[in-house]
Chain A
Amino acid sequence: NAGVMQNPRHLVRRRGQEARLRCSPMKGHSHVYWYRQLPEEGLKFMVYLQKENIIDESGMPKERFSAEFPKEGPSILRIQQVVRGDSAAYFCASSPQGRQKLFFGSGTQLSVL
């Protein structure tokens, strides 16, 4: 049973480009969460999704950021027109029924040049 899979592991983008981060939850998990981690900081909640629905996006910037979790395929976190401040590690986590014990992916390290 594969764990939470994120790709790519590392992503380098120039300012103004788009970044797409993918997350495949554990088998049987229909709840996906995205977190951002800056150096020396804790995990900051961004968005919580269930299949085809955004449940809570209160932690996500209003502009340039969007997330989806389609019926088929992985969850996607999309950052348009990236800026240097977007450089961070982005973690995805999944759970079978929402909250409590989350299973984390290995993260995507986004670097914006």
Chain B
Amino acid sequence: EDKVVQSPLSLVVHEGDTVTLNCSYEVTNFRSLLWYKQEKKAPTFLFMLTSSGIEKKSGRLSSILDKKELFSILNITATQTGDSAIYLCAVESQTGANNLFFGTGTRLTVIP
């Protein structure tokens, strides 16, 4: 059964801390892994990863994929209160029309 597991489920840090969010997966015929940030409502796209070992970076956020060990991490450095959100990991399979599987998310709270 295809599944995506994120950890931790929730995390509380102080501004300026660095956090690492984890996403492990078991998906048939992996195609890509995506990270989304969900604030209040609409998930917004952060990264799409398809190749192992290549870091994607956007400002203070970065992510990397390990296709051998079947996981990805999302790093946020120098966290700010605006980083508080649910971070969703989704994995895309090459098979089937319904081929995007979401994890339950990690709820990050950054306190001043």
Contact = CB atoms under 8 A, between A and B. Distances in A.
B43 A56 contact: no
Contact of A91 (B43, B45, B90, B96): B43
A44 to B, nearest CB: 8
Given A40-B104, A42-B102, A43-B88, A105 B96 contact: no
Given A48-B97, A101-B34, A43 B42 contact: no
B100 interface: yes
A56 B104 CA distance: 22
A48 B90 CA distance: 16
Contacts of B36: 104
B99 A99 contact: yes
Contact of B41 (A48, A58, A106): A106
A59 interface: yes
Contacts, number: 55
A104 B43 contact: yes
A61 to B, nearest CB: 15
B34 A107 contact: no
A56 B97 contact: yes
A80 to B, nearest CB: 23
Interface size class of A (residues with CB under 8 A): 20 to 34
Interface string A96-113: 000111111111000000
Interface in A53-94: 55-56, 58-59, 89, 91
Nearest to A55: B97
Contacts of A106: 40-42
A101 B16 CA distance: 30
Interface of B: 4, 32, 34, 36, 40-45, 48, 88, 90, 92, 96-105
The 3 closest A-B pairs by CB, nearest first: A56-B97, A42-B102, A42-B104
Given A91-B43, A104-B42, 7 more contacts: A43-B88, A55-B97, A59-B98, A89-B41, A99-B100, A106-B40, A106-B41
